[in-house]
Amino acid sequence: MQNPDILKVDLQDRSYNIVIGSNLIKNLGQFIPSLIKNTSVIIITDQNVADFHLTKLVHALDAEKLAYSVVTLPPGESTKRFSHFQNIISKILDKNPERSTSLIAFGGGVIGDLAGFAASIILRGINYFQIPTTLLAQVDSSVGGKTGVNSEHGKNLIGTFYQPKGVLIDTSVLATLPKRELLAGYAEVVKYGIIGDKKFFEWLEINGEALIKGDEGLQKYAIMESCRAKAKIVNQDEKETGNRALLNFGHTFGHALEAEMGYNSRLLHGEAVAIGMLLAFDLSVLMGFCAKEEATRVQKHFLSMGLPTQLDDIFERNYDSEVLLDHMRRDKKVKNGQLNFILTRGVGNAFITSEVERDSVIEVLNRRAKNSIFPIE
């Protein structure tokens, strides 16, 4: 095992490390915080992750002589419904946790969000530790302390800010991830280049295909850069009162698409964000903030990688732009009755604005049904 890289999320008494490297789960004892040692652990995972990786984790816990139990959930976004959450809490409480007990979120973004939310409310707050197993969770949802569940009113409208005590990112687990899941996570990786790092986006244009094919060195670099970018923003704005909202680029549109699809496996979160980012570019071009060549460049990259780019790629029937806009109005980014958008002046230069006309949003939603607002020639 090579020495891992370590990044710090610096939040004073809520600070923690992000440890990134290969085959880290097997050597868990070297990296888990001392506060998890000498206590009991409850692993929260899903059936898919359990089938591939749970044995490796429990062997590592056995080596540390840690007492543990396991709660295994069904995989997929549908597990993240508020209506299911009480059952999840009951399963955890059946394990008789104490305030010294720690949860380990061992899975993708759904598991991380659920375990984090549970940890924040069980016994008025217990410790938890993130071991993300998808690219999306490794570069985004495991870092920053956002937890939550979906409801019929929208995505992640019920939840807390509750920081983990550490994040362990084992890049070797990505070898078992289906290509579609890798691509969904890759969309979040690209987001970091788009919102504030043009050189990173250029690097992805060159290396993205090899990264998806499984080059672990490239994967580790992309994860490092993504986590570094997110940690920097979270350090400055933990509770999203300012620039942390930039991390939502593509998400205002994307969450509306997920809501309309019913939060199921027909549309992965990263796929929705990919289309959402292109819609944000469309809107930025329409409003005169961004050159159409920038929008076309990003769309070409998504097409070359195999990411969805059109609304027709995901909807099997005609959709109603007004209904999508209604979903957007329920988003957490509404402030004083105004919906905030994350738009762009070009790759590497995102910004926040509430000065967006309703008709402009409807126009870009309608135009991306069949073709881009600026179709590739």
Q: Choose, from 53, 80, 165, 269, the residue flagged as catalytic.
A: 269
269 is catalytic: yes
Is 105 within a domain? yes
| pLDDT value of position 239 | 93
Nearest C-alpha neighbor of 39 from the set 124, 100, 94: 100
Nearest C-alpha neighbor of 80 from the set 155, 180, 173, 169: 155
**Count of domains forming the chain:** 2
**Which of left, alpha, beta for 240 (phi over 0: left; psi -120 to 50: alpha)?**
left
| pLDDT value of position 70 | 96
| pLDDT value of position 1 | 66
Residue with tokens 């998806």: 212
How confident is the model over 90-121, as pLDDT tens digits?
Answer: 999 999 999 999 999 999 999 999 999 999 99
Beta strand pairing call for 102-107 and 40-46: parallel
59 is catalytic: no
Residues 216, 228, single domain; the answer is: yes
Q: Choose, from 205, 225, 238, 240, the residue flagged as catalytic.
A: 240
SS3 176: helix
Sequence-distant (≥ 6) Cβ neighbours of residue 337 within 8 angstroms: none
Residues 186, 167, single domain; the answer is: no
How confident is the model over 347-362, as pLDDT tens digits?
Answer: 999 999 999 999 999 9
- End-to-end alpha carbon distance in the chain: 48
Of 176, 206, 235, the one marking the end of a domain is 176
Q: Choose, from 146, 220, 333, 367, the residue flagged as catalytic.
A: 146
| pLDDT value of position 104 | 96
Q: Choose, from 188, 205, 260, 271, the residue flagged as catalytic.
A: 188
Q: Choose, from 251, 332, 333, 368, the residue flagged as catalytic.
A: 251
CB 236 within 8 A of CB 243: yes
Q: Choose, from 127, 156, 248, 340, the residue flagged as catalytic.
A: 248
- Look up the pTM and report it: 0.94
Residues 331, 192, single domain; the answer is: yes
CATH number, domain at 288? 1.20.1090.10
Residues 119, 46, single domain; the answer is: yes
Is 172 within a domain? yes
Is 166 within a domain? yes
Take residue 321 and report the two structure tokens written for it.
Answer: 């732009």
Is 374 within a domain? no
Residues 154, 258, single domain; the answer is: no
230 is catalytic: yes
Take residue 62 and report the two structure tokens written for it.
Answer: 């056995």
Residues 229, 203, single domain; the answer is: yes
Q: Choose, from 191, 255, 301, 332, the residue flagged as catalytic.
A: 255
Is 372 within a domain? no
244 is catalytic: yes
CB 164 within 8 A of CB 129: yes
| pLDDT value of position 373 | 46
Is 309 within a domain? yes
Is 375 within a domain? no
248 is catalytic: yes
Residues 201, 140, single domain; the answer is: no
330 is catalytic: no
Which amino acid does the sequence have at 245? Answer: A
Is 296 within a domain? yes
Q: Choose, from 53, 80, 244, 368, the residue flagged as catalytic.
A: 244
Of 176, 192, 211, the one marking the end of a domain is 176
Nearest C-alpha neighbor of 284 from the set 265, 299, 267, 262: 299
146 is catalytic: yes
Q: Choose, from 124, 317, 336, 377, the residue flagged as catalytic.
A: 124
| pLDDT value of position 375 | 46
Residues 151, 241, single domain; the answer is: no
CATH number, domain at 170? 3.40.50.1970
CB 290 within 8 A of CB 346: yes
Residues 112, 203, single domain; the answer is: no
- Compute the radius of gyration of the chain from its Cα atoms: 20
Take residue 302 and report the two structure tokens written for it.
Answer: 């998504």
Tell me which residue range forms the domain holding 49: 5-176
Residues 186, 309, single domain; the answer is: yes
Residues 219, 326, single domain; the answer is: yes
| pLDDT value of position 35 | 61
371 is catalytic: no
CB 60 within 8 A of CB 131: no
Q: Using 70 as the pLDDT threshold, list the residues of the chain that sit under it.
A: 1, 33-35, 37-38, 317, 370-377
Residues 186, 155, single domain; the answer is: no
Take residue 252 and report the two structure tokens written for it.
Answer: 């205002």
Q: Choose, from 80, 230, 301, 368, the residue flagged as catalytic.
A: 230
| pLDDT value of position 318 | 73
CB 136 within 8 A of CB 110: no
